[in-house]
């Protein structure tokens, strides 16, 4: 505690420095606590209706690769084994053909 005394005395005489330190600290705390959770973050498994609606509208109800518009699948671009989850930014809308191709790539990488 004694080592901190000169610092505390310095801060007592320089309220502006103290204010700046407090301001930076509050900013950091704000960033930690007010961090907005992305939809689907931390979730895995069945997609909620909200997630489906957002992904479908994001890709305009079409396959992201070929624009096919029937029997679409939502695919995880990052496998769970790699820390992926249901967050919107990691989901892509694919036709059965391109979904199968995506999984061929994953299989080749040794994920499945
Ligand atoms: Zn396709
Ligand atoms: Zn998939």
Mean per-residue pLDDT, 6-32? 89
Let me know: does 74 contact 47? Beta carbons within 8 Å. Answer: yes
Average predicted confidence (pLDDT) for the chain? 92
Q: Are 39 and 87 in contact (CB under 8 A)?
A: yes
- Identify the band that residue 7 occupies on the pLDDT scale cut at 50, 70 and 90: confident
- Compute, in angstroms, the gap from residue 103 CA to the centroid of ligand 2: 6
| pLDDT score, position 111 | 76
Distance CA 58, CA 88 (A): 9
**Overall pTM surpassing 0.85 (yes/no):** no
Dist. CA 60 → ligand 1 center (Å): 13
Which residues have beta carbons under 5 A from ligand 2 (an ion)? 75
Which ligand is closest to the CA of 92, given by its number? 2
Burial 29-67 (b: 16+ CB within 10 A, else e): eeeeeeeeeebbeeeeeebeeebeebbeeebeebbbbee
Tokens read off for 30: 């704000």
- The predicted-structure confidence for 65-88, as pLDDT tens digits, reads as follows 999 999 999 999 999 989 999 999
Give me ligand 2 centre to Cα 26, in Å.
Answer: 42
């Amino acid at each position: 505690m004694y080592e901190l005394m000169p610092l505390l005395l310095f801060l007592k005489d320089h309220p502006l420095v103290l204010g700046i330190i407090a301001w930076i600290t509050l900013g950091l705390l704000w960033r930690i606590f007010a961090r907005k959770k992305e939809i689907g973050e931390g979730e895995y498994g069945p997609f909620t209706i909200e997630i489906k609606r957002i992904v479908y509208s994001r890709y305009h109800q079409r396959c992201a690769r070929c624009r096919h518009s029937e029997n679409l699948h939502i695919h995880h671009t990052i496998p769970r084994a790699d820390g992926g989850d249901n967050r919107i930014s990691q989901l892509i809308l694919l036709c059965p053909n391109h979904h199968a191709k995506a999984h061929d790539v994953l299989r080749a990488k040794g994920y499945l």
